[in-house]
Amino acid sequence: MSDLVADNDSKYNKLIIALSIVIPLAVAMLFGVRIEGYDFSFLPPIYATTNGITAVLLIVALWAIKNRKTGLHEVLMKVCLTLSALFLIMYVLYHMTSDPTPFGGTGAVKYLYYFILITHILLSVAVIPLVLFTFVRALAKRFDKHRKLARITFPIWLYVAVTGVVVYLMISPYYVQV
């Protein structure tokens, strides 16, 4: 039995590591691709809202598990995963079809914006394997390991979701209005 678990862990571990490398590299490469003729300028408020909903649902999911509502927790976490995937798709679509928006703030606000943006980007890359490893451990019903990793994953994922909204709110006045 333990050999079967080890084999499945190894298989998923390799897939998670591959995705954790491929997704950020693909996103970075796609920023170099510009597709003309499409207008996805409406997406930033939608994907910022998606981040906000994810943040709220993460908190509700934490409440659910603390109150032993495991079914609700599981559903909410799957919704959060789906929302995060949708966010990524919308984010890439927008950036492949739109010119970059420079931040127009000055002084301390500018430094605060870039601090939030940089930590958001770095942690959004780090959260990919954390979320996937945490999720797979739950699927495998290895709840002791799931709980241990979730204690690390949750605050990082929540930070990424919340700062996604903050970054949007800070840069939205500088979007070019067409």
The CATH number that domain 2-174 falls under is: 1.20.120
Give the confidence band of 9 by pLDDT, cuts at 50, 70, 90.
low
Domain ranges of the chain: 2-174
> Do the Cβ atoms of 54 and 87 come closer than 8 Å?
yes
| Cβ contact 113:170 at 8 Å | yes
pLDDT at 145: 95
Report CA dihedral (75, 62, 46, 23) to the nearest 10 degrees: -80
pLDDT digits (tens, 9 = 90+) for 45-88: 999 999 999 999 999 999 999 999 999 999 999 999 999 999 99
Q: Please give the single-letter amino acid code of residue 97.
A: T
Q: What percent of the chain has pLDDT over 90?
A: 84
3-state secondary structure 42-80: CHHHHHHHHHHHHHHHHHHHHHHHHCCCHHHHHHHHHHH
Q: Is 165 helix (H, G, I), strand (E, B) or coil?
A: helix
pLDDT digits (tens, 9 = 90+) for 139-165: 999 999 999 999 999 999 999 999 999
Q: Is the pLDDT of residue 19 over 90?
A: yes
pTM given for the model: 0.90
